Amino acid sequence: MKLKLDDNGNVIVKDGMPVYVMDDGKDETFDAPATLFKIKSLTEEKDRHFGKASDLQEKLNAAETTLKSFDGIDAEIAKTAIETVEKMEGGKMIEAGEFDKLKTQMQGIQDKALSEQKETYETKLSAQATDIAGQQQTINNLMISSNFAKSPFFSGEKPRTILTPDLAANLFGANFKVEGDGPDPKLIGYLNGEKIPSSTNVGEPADFEEAISVIIEKHPGKERFLSSPEGGGPGAGSNFGKGGATVMISEADASDPMKYRAAKAQAEKMGVPIQVME
Q: Is the pLDDT of residue 20 over 70?
A: yes
> Are 198 and 159 found together in one domain?
yes
Q: By residue range, what is the domain housing residue 275?
A: 246-278
> Are 76 and 136 found together in one domain?
yes
Please tell me the distance from the alpha carbon of residue 147 to that of residue 36, in angstroms, as a whole number: 17
> Are 217 and 237 found together in one domain?
yes
> Are 121 and 186 found together in one domain?
no
> Are 107 and 164 found together in one domain?
no
What pLDDT, on a 0 to 100 scale, did the predictor assign at position 61?
A: 76
What pLDDT, on a 0 to 100 scale, did the predictor assign at position 148?
A: 92
Number of structural domains in the chain? 4
Please tell me the distance from the alpha carbon of residue 193 to that of residue 196, in angstroms, as a whole number: 9
> Are 99 and 161 found together in one domain?
no
> Are 72 and 105 found together in one domain?
yes
Please tell me the distance from the alpha carbon of residue 225 to that of residue 235, in angstroms, as a whole number: 7
Please tell me the distance from the alpha carbon of residue 32 to that of residue 244, in angstroms, as a whole number: 33
What pLDDT, on a 0 to 100 scale, did the predictor assign at position 228?
A: 47
In a 10 Å sphere around its CB, with 0-12 CB exposed, 13-18 middle and 19+ buried, how is residue 149 labelled?
buried
What is the model's pTM?
0.44
> Are 103 and 129 found together in one domain?
yes
* pLDDT (mean) for 13-29: 79
234 to each of 133, 156, 161, 166, 240, how far by Cα in Å? 39, 17, 7, 18, 11
CB atoms under 10 Å from CB of 206, counted, come to: 22
Q: Is the pLDDT of residue 236 over 60?
A: no
Q: Is the pLDDT of residue 123 over 90?
A: no
In sequence order, which residues have a C-beta less than 8 Å from that of residue 273 and are 6 or more positions away?
246, 247, 267
Residue with the bigger pLDDT between 210 and 96: it is: 210
In sequence order, which residues have a C-beta less than 8 Å from that of residue 24 and are 6 or more positions away?
none
* pLDDT (mean) for 150-175: 89
What pLDDT, on a 0 to 100 scale, did the predictor assign at position 232?
A: 44
> Are 195 and 250 found together in one domain?
no
DSSP assigned state of 251: H
> Are 114 and 46 found together in one domain?
yes
> Are 134 and 92 found together in one domain?
yes
> Are 50 and 140 found together in one domain?
yes
